[in-house]
Chains A and B, each alone.
Chain A
Amino acid sequence: AQKVTQAQTEISVVEKEDVTLDCVYETRDTTYYLFWYKQPPSGELVFLIRRNSFDEQNEISGRYSWNFQKSTSSFNFTITASQVVDSAVYFCALSEARNTGTASKLTFGTGTRLQVTL
C-alpha cells in the first residue's frame, strides 16, 4: 500500500524567510510519480509539480524548489523568500506509474498549513 507522510501540520514564518515542507513516502512500486499541490484559502487545488521516480534531479521554479531523494523516500519542497501569498495548505501526493500509461490512484498526505506573516 502507498503512504505519504507530511509530519509538519502547521508552519509559521515571517515574510522573506525560507521554508521547507517535508514529504516522506512509502510504496512498493518500482516506478511512481510524486506531486505537490497548493490549496489556497479559496479552496481549489493548484498543481505545482510532478516528478517521475526515474528523475532524481532537483528542480527549481522561481522561488520554489524541490529536492527528491529516492534513498530516503523524500520529496521536500522549499520556498525561498516566502511571501504572504504563499500562505496555503500544501499537499504531497503519490501515484503508481504504470507502463501502460494509464492513470492510477493518487494518494495524498495530510497536508502542511503554511502561514506567512508580515
Chain B
Amino acid sequence: NAGVTQTPKFQVLKTGQSMTLQCAQDMNHEYMSWYRQDPGMGLRLIHYSVGAGITDQGEVPNGYNVSRSTTEDFPLRLLSAAPSQTSVYFCASSYSNGGYTFGSGTRLTVV
C-alpha cells in the first residue's frame, strides 16, 4: 500500500548510543519532513527536505542529522542519544500544499 513507512515502531537506546530512524515513501513526493511530539508541545519540526540532495533545519534540529540521497528515503540520525530526545517521531511527506501523509510514528526512549 502506498504511504509513508517508518521503522522501527519502538526503540530503547542508552545515552550516548547512535541510531537511525528510517522513513520511506512510495508516492514520489518531493517534500519530506521529521517531527517530534512531546506532551503539551504538539508536533515540532526537526528537519525537512524539498527534494533529493536538499535538506534544511526546522524548529528543533539540534542533536539530529538528515540526508536525502533519493526521493523515497529520508532517514533521521541521532549521533549521540540523550534523554531529552525521548519522544515520538513522525515522518511526513507531501506532493504539494494539498496534503501531508504521515507515518505511523516511532516511539523512542533514551535511558
Residues of A within 8 A of B (CB): 4, 6, 9, 33, 35, 43-45, 47, 50, 91, 95-98, 101-111
Known: A43-B105, A44-B102. A101 touches B40 (CB 8 A): no
* SS class, residues of chain A in contact with chain B: loop
Q: List 6 A-B pairs, minimum CB-CB distance, nearest first.
A: A103-B31, A103-B94, A110-B42, A108-B42, A108-B43, A45-B102
- Which residues of B in the span 51-100 have a Cβ within 8 Å of any Cβ on A? 58, 88, 90, 92, 94-100
Cα distance, A111 to B92, chains bound together (Å): 18
Interface residues on B, range: 20 to 34
Assembled-state Cα–Cα distance A42/B31 (Å): 26
Asked whether any CB of chain A lies closer than 8 Å to the CB of B41, the reply is yes
Interface residues of B (CB under 8 A from A): 29-31, 33, 35, 40-45, 48, 50, 58, 88, 90, 92, 94-100, 102, 104-105, 107
Shortest C-beta distance, A100 to chain B (Å), equals 9
How far, in whole Å, are A47 and B100 apart by their CA atoms in the complex?
8
- Most chain B CB atoms below 10 A, which of A33, A96, A103: A103
Instruction: Tell me, in angstroms, the Cα distance from A97 to B97 when the chains sit together.
Output: 6
Contact flag A102-B31 (CB < 8 Å), given A43-B88, A110-B41, A110-B42:
yes
Contact with B48, one of A50, A101, A105, A111 (Cβ below 8 angstroms): A105
Query: Would A106 and B92 be within 8 Å (CB), given that A95-B97, A101-B97 are in contact?
Result: yes
